[in-house]
Amino acid sequence: MNTKAEPVTVSRRRFITQVMGGIGATIAAILGLPLSRYVAYPATSEAATNWALAGPVDGFNIGEMRQVAIEPTYDAPLAIEKGKRAAYVVKKADGTFDCFYMHCTHAGCPVRRSSGPQRFFSPCHGGVFDKEGRVLAGPPPRPLDRYDYKVEGGVLYLGEVYQVDERLERVG
């Protein structure tokens, strides 16, 4: 009696099993691709850092606190990274650079250069930083964050943002 219905039930079960298997294989492929890329190219490699162009090193004067527009040199995945961003760069007498993230370490307001003494200040709650990013006044809990940088072919590039402690030593 039910012999005609049985093949339909088996066929549906098989169909559902195959569809579920296909979905599982697709999910595994989607998740597996980035994982295999990570294994092939570890995060510590040079290629993992997203460098942004900050300008020719000759364009920076020693001791000057300069605001620069930085431009990604990579295919930025987030819309916020695609356009130009700003950073503060100070070229030191020994030819090295201090490259500051522009956002205050208290609540993230953009910091500004003071027009008088060489300082940064945060307009939101009165945070003040010296020219090396140390906290001079106000609520910021730590010095200004900094960018990794490199010089290649006479051009300054900024990389990852990192934190420093009161001795200006990298944290983490």
Question: Can residue 106 be called a binding residue for ligand FES (CB under 6 A)?
Answer: yes
In whole angstroms, the minimum distance from the beta carbon of 90 to ligand FES comes to 19
Residues 12-51: x where in contact with ligand FES by CB under 6 A, - otherwise, as a string: ----------------------------------------
- Closest by CA position to 68, among listed 41, 46, 101: 101
**Under rule CB under 6 A, how many of the chain's residues touch ligand FES?**
11
Question: Can residue 104 be called a binding residue for ligand FES (CB under 6 A)?
Answer: yes
In whole angstroms, the minimum distance from the beta carbon of 95 to ligand FES comes to 31
- For ligand FES, the closer of residues 55 and 139 by Cβ is 139
Tell me whether strands 127-130 and 135-137 are parallel, antiparallel or unpaired: antiparallel
- Closest by CA position to 53, among listed 70, 68, 74: 70
In whole angstroms, the minimum distance from the beta carbon of 79 to ligand FES comes to 24
